[in-house]
Amino acid sequence: MCPDCRKQWEDAESILRGAAALKDDVRKAMETVDWAALAGRIADTALARPADRPARERVRTFGTVRPMFGWKPAFAGALGGLLIGAAAMYFALRTPNAGGPARLGVYASGEFIDRAELSVAKRETIDYLDKSRALLLDFVQADPENAGRILKDESSVRRTSDLLAKKRLMNVHLDDTAMAKARKICDQIERLFVELSQISEDVSAVEAARIQKYIEEKNLLLRIKLLRGELAGSEV
């Protein structure tokens, strides 16, 4: 990749990373809204409004527009002529690109953006895999007697919750065919986190051992590691 292309590539990635950060703000704001109450309030307001209001608005609209065009065809014709004439003058006399921003070199393909998006998606997935692996390692390496307590400490609960939220944000990127393999493993991790988030602190040692065994039997940690390496290796 030439230096110019590299710079453009990095810029596009930065913009997309910034966009991903905007989503975090939205998510935080969403957590503070009482959605059930909001829906009820809107429905009550809508139903309390006079039923004939929209109809009256329609009548008023037609009442003002129709006389202009229905009763004065000469005026409507003159107005139409003016508009068509102005449009024709605009297209005939405009200077191409006058005053527009300077063109940016060879930055010219929508595919370029798609590739930049894919690259950002890979980085996001790698981050997700790293954090997931660390959390699963904490659980797998724990004594089954203490595994439940470890999962339910404040930090682990937050990490699990963050990873579940992150996975949902990633889903749209994982739909890309190039990410099909990653999607399969990430879905599996997500299902596991859902299960882990639902078990109680006093989970039995037998149950904890069962989940630990499941993780080992599925070679989940190894597969995460391999997938991570694959994604990192294919990054541009």
Partner 1 sequence: MNAEIALQPEGGASPDVVTGLVRRVRSGDREAFVALIGLYQKKVFILAYSFFRNKEDAVDIVQDVFLRVYEKIDSFQESRNFDAWLIQVAKNLCIDRYRQFRGRREMESGVRVDEIPLADNHSPDAYRASDLKDALARSVDRLADRQKTIFLMRHVNQMGNEEIARALNISTGTVKSLHFKAIRRLRTLMGPHLGCQT
Tell me which long-range contacts 194-200 makes (C-beta under 8 A, separation of at least 24). Answer: 194/164, 196/139, 196/151, 196/160, 197/157, 197/160, 197/161, 197/164, 199/148, 199/151, 200/148, 200/152
154 interacts with partner 1 by CB under 8 A: no
Rule CB under 8 A: choose which of 1, 2, 34, 92 binds partner 1.
34
- Closest separation in Å from C-beta 122 to partner 1: 16
Q: Which one of the spans 29-37, 82-90, 135-143, 199-207 is the region binding partner 1 (CB under 8 A)?
A: 29-37
Closer residue to partner 1 in complex, CB, 162/235: 162
Q: What's the token pair of residue 219?
A: 């070679």
5 interacts with partner 1 by CB under 8 A: no
C-alpha to C-alpha distance for 123 and 215, rounded to whole angstroms:
24
Residue among 231, 2, 3 at smallest CA distance from 120? 231
The site map against partner 1 for 75-114 (x = CB under 8 A) is: --------------------------x--x--x-xx--x-
33 interacts with partner 1 by CB under 8 A: yes
- Closest separation in Å from C-beta 64 to partner 1: 19
C-alpha to C-alpha distance for 33 and 29, rounded to whole angstroms:
7
- Closest separation in Å from C-beta 121 to partner 1: 12
Q: Which one of the spans 130-138, 144-152, 159-167, 228-236 is the region binding partner 1 (CB under 8 A)?
A: 159-167
Residue that is written with structure tokens 């959605």 in the block: 35
State the sign of the Cα–Cα–Cα–Cα dihedral 105, 106, 109, 112: negative
Rule CB under 8 A: choose which of 5, 19, 65, 87 binds partner 1.
19
Q: Which one of the spans 9-17, 71-79, 82-90, 211-219 is the region binding partner 1 (CB under 8 A)?
A: 9-17
Side-chain-side CA neighbours of residue 168 (13 Å): 10
C-alpha to C-alpha distance for 119 and 115, rounded to whole angstroms:
6
Query: Which amino acid, residue 187?
Result: D
- Ranges of beta strands (E only) in the chain are none
User: Taking the mean position of all CA atoms in its chain, how far away is CA 138?
Assistant: 29
Rule CB under 8 A: choose which of 4, 5, 42, 68 binds partner 1.
42
- Closest separation in Å from C-beta 151 to partner 1: 16
Query: Which amino acid, residue 92?
Result: A
Q: Which residues bind partner 1 (CB under 8 A)?
A: 8, 10-12, 14-23, 25-27, 29-36, 38-47, 49, 53-54, 101, 104, 107, 109-110, 113, 161, 164-165, 168-169, 171-172
